[in-house]
Structure 1
Amino acid sequence: MNRTLLRGATIVSMAPGRPDAERADLLVEDGRVARIGERLDSAGADLVDLTGRIVIPGLVNAHLHTWQTGLRAVGTNWTLMQYLGHMHGGGAERFSPDDLHIATLAGALNQIDCGTTTLGDWCHNSLTPEHADAGVAGLTRSGIRAVFFHGTPYRDPEEPHPLTEIDRLLHGPIEAASLLTLGMAVQGPQYCYPDTAVADLRAAAERGLVASFHQSGGEPEGGWEAVRDAGLFGPLVNIVHGSDMPDAWVGTLVDAGATFTSTPENELGQGHGTPVIDALLRHGGAPSLGTDVDSVAPGTLFTAARIALAHQRGLDHAKHLDIGMPALMNAVTAKQALAWATVAGAKALGLDDRVGHLDAGMQADLVAIDARGLNLWPAHDPVAAALHADIANVEAVMIAGRWRKRDHRLLHSGLDDIKERLRASGERLVQTVLEE
């Protein structure tokens, strides 16, 4: 039996029924959390002293297009319309399978470095089966836990999702990868005809797969009603962005069990519309979080969580000021924001029975935050300190009981070669993207 005992840390488990923070040991056995408690028996275990650290569940980045990693920051000043024109107006079709592979590998490794242990990788540039396989291989090689959301470039609104490819992946490359599951990145009712949207979501439901689709601004039209009337909105449906969605629709979707993923930094910066977070909270829901595209915004989920929290608090303060009375306390807490980046992300990806919080039986996906750093010390409130962390504080990352980062260093061979391949790919692609 493979045993690791983490001793001396402050545990922020995010588990129901446990304290917000507790000084305790955490025992890992064969890839799972076996026990959390005081002075656990260390016999036969690899003992790791984490005094001065805060251990949290691994972050869940529920929406990221890793295939764009090689184009980092090229679109930082783009609006949404410029992004769509440059990236999807012809640039995406220039990617080779090798380009997609190295971008996915490097992007996933960066997520681990930043404290993400589970990734919703929305690969809507699977131009061919070879492209899809290259993406899956990149995720597998990185060691991250991920849902590979198979998607294609924007298609004719009458054209359904390629189910032969979904079934090939499901019973082939994905089945062979222990840390990967499959999802469907469908066009959704905003971008295809009602019958197509219904067919795609029904196909995902029949296979037990999460179907995720984009929605940014605009009144939901006939396709949404068709999906609702077919009874297909439920826990296996994930809406990305949901910006400016009418309140009644948010309530309908929350009641049906559908999940939302907000990517607040690029939503606010590019002009997607107002993030859906306020409406979700009013209807008893909660957002999961993503960083969306490294070509536009950095891939640090801690930053996304803090932006989401600050934006929501800003809205709350504005509401109070509108009636002439400042808020006497914040309605949204740091723990809620951390839950958006962990618990809610796991739920959105259909993995909440495995990851998102730390408790006996859960997968040992966790992050050790070095709270001795000058930017966090003294850590009077461990939950807030965890939320205030950044990559410099991410000392160690464990996925399924295996260390993927230790002593502030990724444990992955060939990083220099990966960086060089990413540079060469990005330099070739950036010119074609900017030409569009």
Structure 2
Amino acid sequence: MSRTLLRGAQVITMAPDRPDTERVDILVDGDRIAAVGEDLPSAGAEVVDFSGRIVIPGLVNVHLHTWQTALRSVGADWTLMEYLTHLHGECVGHYTPDDMHISNLAGALNQINCGTTTLGDWCHNSLTPEHADAAVEGLVRSGIRAVFLHGTPYRAPDIPHPLAEIDRLLDGPVSGNPLLTLGMALQGPQYSSPETAVADFRAAAERGLVASTHQSGGEPSPGWEALRTADLFGPRTNVVHGADLPEDWIRTLVDAGVTFTTTPENELGQGHGIPVTGPLLRLGAAPSLGTDVDTVVPGKVLTAARMALAHQRSLDHARHRRTTGMYADTPSVTAKQALAWATVEGAKALGLADRVGRIAADMQADLVAVDARALNLWPAHDPVATALHADIANIEAVMIAGRWRKRDHALIATGLDDVKDRLRESGERLLHTMRESGGTQD
């Protein structure tokens, strides 16, 4: 198997037993990290000099509706209700399997380009098995690590998740691929009857799958209590948004090990409610991050991390001034915490904490090299803050499972011009269907 030795970089391992940053070597053997330490032997390994770079764990985008990639930016000025009306009311039924494939392929490639190595693909437009298979194939072709969270378009509250399709995917398209994991994108307790929510979450638990569900702005519906009574909340439960959930419910879910994913740019812009970051931090927990919908916001996890950080600091500063009449003299949240949300917490939310999110021996070799020599980052006095402040142009290299997917600031992928042409054609056709329905203006 191939061996690669990364030498000369400032390394942010995100491991709890190591310094925030250190100048150490990383030895990659096959798809795993073999060792992290000073002056590792280079025998039999390709040596890569990353002097002037910062190496971080691969970023984790826990929540992206990748199937919407072809409709980028059409909803930049949509409210949440407009998004639900135009995208889910007028457009979803016009998607073909080819539309699903090209959006997932292009969207996943873009995530790699941004430094994301693990993607939670919340695919709630699996109209048919062919649609689901095409979406999965798009992920496979991109080379990204992904949890394919199978979902369907919104349906009546008493209609359960199609479990035959879950079992088919487990036995077929997802099985045997070390970069793919299956999960369930459920309507969940907020949008299902209590009986249906219990049946769906129990089915996920019986299969050992992550069960992810949306919840935005408002009091929990009766389905939440039904799930609590059935003891179905746990570490493989993921709540997306969680905006405006009462703090007693957040405490109940945190105590049960439930993970939360905030998508701050979309939540703040579309009106989901106040991001759940603050209530989690007050309980000693932390969010993971997603970018949600390319139709509305760009898919950059580091941007989401900075927005979540800045928004929470703003709330905390305002609270401090109200209670003391003075400015706070210390920050309430740190850059390292925000970087952890995009790495460690993301891996935890997707059930992959034993494989990704940290740089340590025996973990998967999912790594990102940030070029800290660039004018917008130099001089890199604080490597953690520098990594958090990086943009796409600073993401020099991306490795997934020991294989380079980006080097020298360029994706390693064939046929990108064809991918872009197919994505444009798909988007134009889908946009035309919305225009005919009166959803958008020329």
TM-score by length of structure 2 reads 0.98
Structure 2 counterpart of 1:82:
82
Q: Secondary structure at the match of 2:20?
A: coil
Structure 2 counterpart of 1:423:
424
Q: CA deviation at 1:326?
A: 1.1
1:266 matched to 2:266? yes
Structure 1 counterpart of 2:229:
229
Q: Secondary structure at the match of 2:242?
A: strand
Q: In the aligned structure 2, how far is the partner of 1:247 from the partner of 1:300? A: 29
Q: Secondary structure at the match of 2:75?
A: coil
Q: After superposition, what is the alpha-carbon deviation per residue over 1:166-212, rounded to whole angstroms, capped at 9, x for unaligned?
A: 00001100003220000000100000100000000000000000000
Equivalent residues in 2 for 1:23-422, closer than 5 Å: 23-323=23-323, 324-422=325-423
Matched AA of 2:58:
G
Q: CA deviation at 1:328?
A: 0.5
Q: CA deviation at 1:316?
A: 0.5
Q: Secondary structure at the match of 1:48?
A: strand
Q: In the aligned structure 1, how far is the partner of 2:38 from the partner of 2:367? A: 18
Q: Secondary structure at the match of 1:146?
A: strand
TM-score by length of structure 1 reads 0.99
Q: After superposition, what is the alpha-carbon deviation per residue over 1:131-180, rounded to whole angstroms, capped at 9, x for unaligned?
A: 00000000000000000000000011000000000000011000032200
The CA RMSD measured in Å over matched residues stands at: 0.6
Equivalent residues in 2 for 1:6-25, closer than 5 Å: 6-25=6-25
Q: CA deviation at 1:353?
A: 0.3
Q: Secondary structure at the match of 1:63?
A: strand
Matched AA of 2:194:
P
Q: CA deviation at 1:331?
A: 1.4
* More displaced stretch, 107-116 vs 277-286: 277-286
Q: Secondary structure at the match of 1:338?
A: helix
Matched AA of 1:302:
L
Which residues of structure 2 form unaligned runs of 5+?
Answer: none
Q: In the aligned structure 2, how far is the partner of 1:353 from the partner of 1:39? A: 26
Q: Which runs of 4+ in 1 moved over 3 A?
A: none
Matched AA of 1:374:
L
Q: Secondary structure at the match of 2:188?
A: coil
Q: CA deviation at 1:432?
A: 1.5
Q: After superposition, what is the alpha-carbon deviation per residue over 1:386-433, rounded to whole angstroms, capped at 9, x for unaligned?
A: 000010000000000000000000000000000000000001111223
Which residues of structure 1 form unaligned runs of 5+?
Answer: none
Q: Secondary structure at the match of 1:243?
A: coil
Question: What is the number of equivalent residue pairs in this alignment?
Answer: 436
Matched AA of 2:238:
N
Matched AA of 2:7:
R
